[in-house]
Chains A and B, each alone.
Chain A
Amino acid sequence: MNKKSFWTKPGFVSLLSSLICIVIGMAVGFLVLLALGGSKAYTDGFRQILLGGFYMKPSGIGKEIVAAAPLIMCGLSVAFAFKTGLFNIGAAGQYTLGAFGGLAFAILLNAPWWVCLIIATIAGAIWGAIPGIFKAYLNVNEVITSIMFNWIGLYGCNTIMYGRGSGAMYNPKQSKTFAVTGSSLIPSKIFGWDMAKTFSYSSCTIAIFMAIIVAIILYIILNKTTFGYELKACGSNKNAARYAGINEKKNIILSMLIAGALAGFGAGLFYLSGGAQWIPGDSTALPSEGFDGISVALLASSNPIGAIFSALFISHITTGGGFMNASLFPPEIADIISGIIIYLCAFSLLFRSAIMKLLTGHRKPEETKPENPPKGGKPAGKERA
């Protein structure tokens, strides 16, 4: 039997390949900055991206933490679906529904924050389950369904919130929804420590800890329970799973439902912390957290614990991007970096086998688990994209 060394474990190899993606992505970002700002590329742009929130201590760190919580959740949402062989590109729509549900209960009913959070989760879960049902019973690929329902959700929620300018949740003076107040806000104190005060950033709440706890729970579900095993079995080989007596349809729907719930929970964490107010008039842009979740999941190779760190990284560079000298460098440069990282992650298998070759001389990892992304094509090409 082969002795397993730490250096050739699949986990370590994926970590290395993610780091390669990050380094290349950052390098391209730096080149873009060079092209735009020449000699100022480092001092006015790249330094801010590298430092992230630490560029403006302590409020920048607070901002980074606030943005990281929904990213962790969206990353988990995408990662969880990946494990079942599904690509949840609909996190953005589920996030929208979560925000809508949470805000409705917070603004209209002034319900306690945990009630609003549960509502946000349920709203996201419903929106996630729909593509699952379409996939399981009607054989429509979840990617297309999720994309369509992203837009349907966005237009629908905005119509209700805006209500021709007189919606109950809409504050015409600011063209945003009303601010969440009182007991509907997630507390910022934990064991007597006031996070908002430490980081002098008022929306810095215990949301980040809730996100981390959920990540750990998911890790346990996926790796230590029968349910998690069944889900992964469906992802690895649908036909083998069915042969083994696993109800594949049920698992597809459940997996999408949970993925949706995670994204909705993330939206709740962000909006109930007062991270921002929803802008219903802006009905052309889906929330970016949902798509950043894809980068988070891919960078983490769908590992829930890894998602915590990759979300912090994405939040780090986006926050840093906001601190760049805006007259020279548009903050969207951070999005370019994360876009390139996803692009590279798409063929990270190539990096992995190259790393393995360097480390051991063999091309294949010791344990070949067909994890994220669901291997190349769809089995037998029966279903429709």
Chain B
Amino acid sequence: MNDLTENSRRNNMRYALFVGCTVAYKLPHLEAATRYVMDSLGIYPVDLPFSCCPDPNGIHSYSSELWYTLAARNLAIAEEQTLDIVTLCNGCYATLKHCRELLNKDSGLQKRINDRLKSVGRHYTGQSRVLHFYQLLYEQVGYDRLQQLVVKPLHDLRIAVHYGCHSLRPKQMNPPENSEHPQWLWQFVDQVLGAKTVHYLDESQCCGAGLREMDQDTALALTRRKIEQIEEMDANALLVPCPSCYLQFDIGQRLLRRLDNNGITGTAVFYQTELLAIAMGAKPESIGMQFHMIKPDLNLLQRQKAKSA
């Protein structure tokens, strides 16, 4: 953790921002919320010509070599600017972090990949670290500081949390937190947002996003399990740190609502920086909250309750 602070101090909290396909070209409002947060925290994102990370499910399954190569290219691009990478998506995090671990451990693999990168004038050394955005909030800035910057604590929200899979696994990629029982998102809800945490039985289960294309029935069945429990526990918001999970819950609930008329009510899904932005004073329209499929109840977010001293 000290290394991170060093690096950002050196670079004045500048990071190569890895937006990822899903946020950039499907859910840009999540990017808007994130940029708002970064602005307020003095984090400077640098935009570089990244490609798809590439996807740790489809592309990795198709060809490991392609996966390593394109990931290495992305990492090399950040290295060229002497910047660490911050990702907005669990999947991008898993790809870049995992590939970095593999490339750094296996010199034969690294050489093979670098031979390819050479033909497009790039070179990978492993200098740039890979961070998930939540780490910036949890480790870099710290929840104490965030708490101070929150002007509109979200006391009316009862938030169920979904961590997702790829921010936590596999162990091989050395994720920074305990994958079976991570704390950072619950602590975020409690300490930073000032909201109530709602626990439900299957909170550590996968959302099904990975099967979205291949087998929509199974994917939705997984989503349904979680949503039903969340509604049963009387939550009024679902918080996720990943745009892919966001998509699965947002569009997923709309599909589920269509499939059975009275089953799902629909719980609004929020990306981590969206709620943080609101709590820090952003107006919902300015960060594109109108683009949610399951419309959030703005009253719950907008209560003009000044923070108690």
Are A and B physically bound partners? no
Chain A interface (Cβ within 8 Å of chain B)? none
